[in-house]
Amino acid sequence: MTSRDTAPAGAPCWADLWTTDVEGSRRFYSQLFGWEALEPSPGFGGYWMFDRGGAPTAGGMGSMGDMTADNTWKPYFCTRDIEASLGAAERHGATIHAGATPVAELGVQAVLSDPAGAVFGLWQPGTFEGFGVVGELAAPSWFELHTSQHAREVAFYRDLFGYEIEAAGDTDDFRYSTFRTPGSGEELGGIMDSSRWLQPGGDHWDIYWQVEDAASTAEKVKELGGSVVQGPDHTPYGVLVLCADQAGALFKLRALA
């Protein structure tokens, strides 16, 4: 478990859901994880936050005008200079979908896709630092990029955030790298070579949510109208389950015991 008042630059610091089913998603995750879905904010286009034990842990948004939601979860990475990060991202092959946008006094956000097409966000904190706890029940547990261009993507994120990269496996059967901020012993996430099974254009980030019992939580997913796509799988990293919510957005469960 890691608690923090501020996120290190380059660390995943927030996650939000873009859903076609706002009320269904608010109900689904509240019942699944015990979150409270706070009231949508008219001033921010109906954006809402999920509260976990008195602290924000994720956000949500519905379709916006003629922009139909794609039912995906998106991670945000902390930056202390969003304009510099956007410039570096473009130089290294990223595509900017939404440039630096102030969110009142809370901070500044941007949305982009990496050279292989995986979408992620940047967040420059103002008064809001993002989630303050990872690795606890119903909180983020791990962030993982699945890519068809492993070497290129490792280089992109290393150069963008200054990560220290460690190879956890480097064979055709298992090619996986973890990343951390320089000088830190805390692994922040992983980059998986998924070229053998990804469909074209399928590069994406996965967000894992920690649970006590992955199998029973997966059953609850189904009871709430979602589905289990894969698992439970017993791995050296815990029991993992790939799920889809009631609108089809993919997310993962992780139980460490």
- Could you tell me the domains of the chain? 8-132 (3.10.180.10), 134-255 (3.10.180.10)
Q: What integer is the mean pLDDT of 175-201?
A: 91
Between strands 72-78 and 119-125, the pairing is parallel
- Per-residue pLDDT at 207: 98
Q: What is the DSSP letter of 104?
A: T
Cβ atoms of residues 149 and 78 within 8 Å:
no
Helix count and strand count (H, E) for the chain = 4, 18
* Range list of β-strands (E), the chain: 2-3, 12-18, 36-37, 48-52, 55-61, 72-78, 95-103, 107-113, 119-125, 133-134, 140-147, 164-170, 175-180, 189-193, 204-210, 227-235, 238-244, 250-255
**pLDDT tens per residue across span 32-62:** 999 999 999 998 999 999 999 989 999 999 9
Structure token pair of residue 248 = 């089809």
Structure confidence at residue 132 (pLDDT): 81
* % of the chain at pLDDT higher than 90: 85
**Separation CA 125–CA 107 (nearest Å):** 4
The pLDDT mean for the chain works out to 94
> pLDDT value at position 127?
96
* CA dihedral sign of residues 37, 42, 44, 45: positive
* β pairing state of 189-193 and 175-180: antiparallel
Q: Where does the pLDDT of residue 123 fall: very low under 50, low under 70, confident under 90, or very high at 90 and above?
A: very high
**Distance, CA of 173 to CA of 196 (rounded, Å):** 9
Q: What is the pLDDT of residue 65?
A: 85
Nearest to 217, CA basis, from 246, 255, 248, 257:
255
Report, as an integer, the average pLDDT of 194-202: 93
Q: Above 70 in pLDDT, residue 174?
A: yes
Query: Does the structure show a pLDDT above 70 at 2?
Result: no
The pLDDT confidence band at residue 185, using thresholds 50, 70 and 90, is confident
Task: Find residue 12's DSSP bridge partners.
Answer: 77
For residue range 65-98, list pLDDT tens digits in order.
888 999 999 999 999 999 999 999 999 999 999 9
Tokens found for residue 91: 């130089």
- pTM for the model: 0.95
